[in-house]
Amino acid sequence: MPYRQLDHTADLCFEVSAASFAELAGEALRAMMAWTGPEWTDARVERPFRVEAPDRTALLVDLLNEALTLSQIHREAYDALAVRSSGEEFVEGSFLGRAISGARDEIKAVTYHGAKVEERADGSWVAILLMDI
């Protein structure tokens, strides 16, 4: 399994792993959205994005917060990420998912506090993410 929920006293914490940064972002998105328990409809959606940040940790946090914002504005949940281009300080592509009629739980924000993204010696990626619920 590419992600697992970690115990935390007040917030939601995930450890996510993947073979590339783009896959890491996709797995983090899936973990976050799955936790909310969206009530999916049949209407498929594609929501474009471009996020810039000073480093990979801030980039992942900002990307996930962008997904949360768009999800709430448009009443959607995203179960996939199509990355068209990325670098050390930017990522662009589309969130892919479906319209929702509601959700079981809500994530207020992904926080910078405790967030960590690193590339391992074998080229794989791992992230620790803390979310305010």
Confidence band for 38, pLDDT divided at 50, 70 and 90? very high
CATH number at residue 113: 3.55.10.10
The reported pLDDT for the residue numbered 61 is 98
Number of domain units in the chain: 1
Is residue 3 predicted with pLDDT exceeding 90?
Answer: no
pTM of the model: 0.92
Pairwise CA distance, residues 28 & 15, whole Å: 8
Is the per-residue pLDDT at 93 higher than 80? yes
Token readout for 106 is 């809500």
The crossing angle, in degrees rounded to 10, of helices 56-74 and 21-36 is 40
Q: Are 17 and 3 in contact (CB under 8 A)?
A: yes
List the domain range (segments joined by +) for residue 28: 3-132
- C-alpha radius of gyration, the chain, whole number: 14
State the pairing for strand pair 12-18/125-132: antiparallel
The tens digit of pLDDT for each residue in 4-19 reads 887 766 689 999 999 9
